[in-house]
């Protein structure tokens, strides 16, 4: 059987998986994003992770067709490196030739949201074809777009920085890439934690404030758990995020005209609590001909989408 290695590089951790041609992850490994300013040292951490995964597999070397990498950033025209990424130490580092030389096999690179969209289009909820927009909501926001099975790369080797669409022009928060009031300032896991901290303190007896006092922090995961348990403040925070995402999705609909929007990434664990206000905001703010027929659902591959999509680059490029 043939396999490809999928590497999903994120701002805080990386997931590495051996994926078969049916999109199943047969072995996996996870590592923290290396804390170093030296690009070679950083890449060597990923090399070590890939070697550990390969060493644990009992397959012939020839069955591993190559390595696919998804990066949270812009992809250079020669597709050998990324820039303006969430892992700045790797910006402009020649990742593809370096990994090819280390492993003596084919290496492909693409944007992380694009590969998540490819995974959903081939193996997940987007298998029906058409115009599929996939939004990943985690520490950042990525947008990938696949039309009739073909990944779209409109600018900067991906869908541009669509997660930085301005939704709050009077916003007082600046994102790490320098814009004010963009979607990433109000609808990521980091924004959720920030709002939970502020609003929790205003309501001293709230579950979120009690959790903060008990553990010293409020995580997005805890806020989502509290919302599912019916906590009013947590539900309100998730609802607000859904409204922001709905505003952005309305603009994306007007520009790209998707038939289906799938929402993935860590924050999508909020499920319908997030999707319902997103849908209603789109209906309230958008042009009927664009937004009325668009289905908004959860992505089905969860946190594996980036890994599976990265591996798919190898299958489909070969
Ligand atoms: Zn921004």
Beta bridge partners of 7: 16, 69
CB 90 within 8 A of CB 70: no
- 230-263 tens-digit pLDDT: 999 999 999 999 999 999 999 999 999 999 999 9
Q: How far is the CA of 311 from the centre of ligand 1 (A)?
A: 28
Q: How far is the CA of 157 from the centre of ligand 1 (A)?
A: 18
Cα(53)–Cα(51) distance, integer angstroms? 5
Q: How far is the CA of 166 from the centre of ligand 1 (A)?
A: 8
Residues with Cβ within 8 Å of residue 277, at least 6 apart in sequence: 239, 240, 242, 243, 246
The residue-averaged pLDDT of 154-162 equals 93
- 87-102 tens-digit pLDDT: 999 999 999 999 999 9
The residue-averaged pLDDT of 129-138 equals 94
- 186-245 tens-digit pLDDT: 999 999 999 999 998 888 888 888 888 888 889 999 999 999 999 999 999 999 999 999
What mean pLDDT value characterizes the chain? 94
- 282-293 tens-digit pLDDT: 999 999 999 998
Q: How far is the CA of 98 from the centre of ligand 1 (A)?
A: 30
What's the confidence (pLDDT) of residue 222?
93
Q: How far is the CA of 17 from the centre of ligand 1 (A)?
A: 30
Q: How far is the CA of 158 from the centre of ligand 1 (A)?
A: 16
Q: How far is the CA of 181 from the centre of ligand 1 (A)?
A: 7
What's the confidence (pLDDT) of residue 126?
82
Task: Kindly indicate the confidence band of residue 318, based on its pLDDT and cuts at 50, 70 and 90.
Answer: low
Q: What domains lie within the chain, and their CATH numbers? A: 3-118+304-317 (3.30.420.40), 127-300 (3.30.420.40)
């Amino acid at each position: 059987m043939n396999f490809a290695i999928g590497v999903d590089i994120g701002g805080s951790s990386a997931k590495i998986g051996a994926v078969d041609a049916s999109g199943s992850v047969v072995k996996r490994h996870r590592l923290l994003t290396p804390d170093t300013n030296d690009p070679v040292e950083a890449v060597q951490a990923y090399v070590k992770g890939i070697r550990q995964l390969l060493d644990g597999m009992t397959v012939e070397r020839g069955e591993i067709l190559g390595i696919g990498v998804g990066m949270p950033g812009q992809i250079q025209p020669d597709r050998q490196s990324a820039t303006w990424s969430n892992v700045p130490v790797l910006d402009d580092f020649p990742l593809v030739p370096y990994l090819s030389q280390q492993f003596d096999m084919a290496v492909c690179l693409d944007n992380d949201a694009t590969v998540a969209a490819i995974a959903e289009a081939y193996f997940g909820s987007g298998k029906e074809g058409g115009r599929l927009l996939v939004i990943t909501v985690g520490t950042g926001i990525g947008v990938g777009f696949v039309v009739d099975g073909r990944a779209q790369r409109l600018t900067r080797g991906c869908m541009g920085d669509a997660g930085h669409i301005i939704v709050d022009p009077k916003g007082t928060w600046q994102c790490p890439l320098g814009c004010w009031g963009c979607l990433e300032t109000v609808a990521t896991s980091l924004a959720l934690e920030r709002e939970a901290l502020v609003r929790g303190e205003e309501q001293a007896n709230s579950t979120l404030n009690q959790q903060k006092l008990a553990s010293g922090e409020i995580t997005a995961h805890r806020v989502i758990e509290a919302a599912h348990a019916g906590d009013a403040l947590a539900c309100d925070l998730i609802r607000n995020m859904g409204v922001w995402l709905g505003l952005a999705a309305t603009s994306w609909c007007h520009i790209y005209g998707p038939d289906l929007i799938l929402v993935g990434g860590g924050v999508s664990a909020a499920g319908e609590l997030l999707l319902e206000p997103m849908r209603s905001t789109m209906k309230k703010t958008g042009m009927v001909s664009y937004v009325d027929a668009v289905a908004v659902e959860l992505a089905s591959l969860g946190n594996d989408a980036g890994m599976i999509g990265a591996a798919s680059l190898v299958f489909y490029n070969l």
